[in-house]
Amino acid sequence: MAEIVCAYQDAAEAIPFGPAVGAELTEKELFHLAPLVCLKRRGIKRTRKNEKVATEAALSTYVANEEVHGSSLSNSIMAFSLCYVASHYALSLLDETESESILNFVEAHLDEVQRQIETYKPIQPT
């Protein structure tokens, strides 16, 4: 849960910068940032290939799941979590069983994940 909370907050930090690049960014769009957050948090070099692998996996998984489980993906945390985990899977950082387990956990504890995100305070460097 802590990993998803930190990654989500990492992505959410980009929201105020949306207008600077001509985009309105809200929590509903954070799932788009999940692949890049995955690369960043795992220390994986942001090459075109890595970005493409992670992004294609995340967005294709989102589209496929939206058709089947659309209502659960209306929750920004669940949508972000799906794309974040799919990115890890595509980069061979997680296997299918681990990916499914993580997403089931997030879905089952969504209220707690939401509370953690709302009270999240990043560690400030000293």
- Give the tens place of pLDDT for each residue, 29-84: 999 999 999 999 999 999 999 999 999 999 999 999 887 766 678 899 999 999 99
Amino acid residing at 51: E
Nearest-angstrom CA–CA distance, 15 and 5: 16
* The pair of three-digit structure tokens given for residue 29, joined into one six-digit string: 């769009």
- Domain-located, residue 64: yes
54 within 8 A of 38, measured Cβ to Cβ: yes
**Distance set, CA 28 to CA 20, 37, 58, 90, 100 (Å):** 18, 16, 15, 23, 22
Provide the domain count of the chain: 1
- Domain-located, residue 24: yes
What confidence score (pLDDT) does residue 121 get? 67
- Domain-located, residue 124: no
Checking if the pLDDT of 95 tops 70, the result is yes
- Domain-located, residue 125: no
Average pLDDT of the residues in 16-30: 86
For residue 11, name the pLDDT band (cuts at 50, 70, 90).
very high
Which domain range does residue 66 map to?
A: 2-119
Checking if the pLDDT of 124 tops 90, the result is no
Nearest-angstrom CA–CA distance, 116 and 112: 6
- Domain-located, residue 39: yes
- Domain-located, residue 42: yes
Nearest-angstrom CA–CA distance, 68 and 88: 22
What pTM was computed for the model? 0.88
- Domain-located, residue 126: no
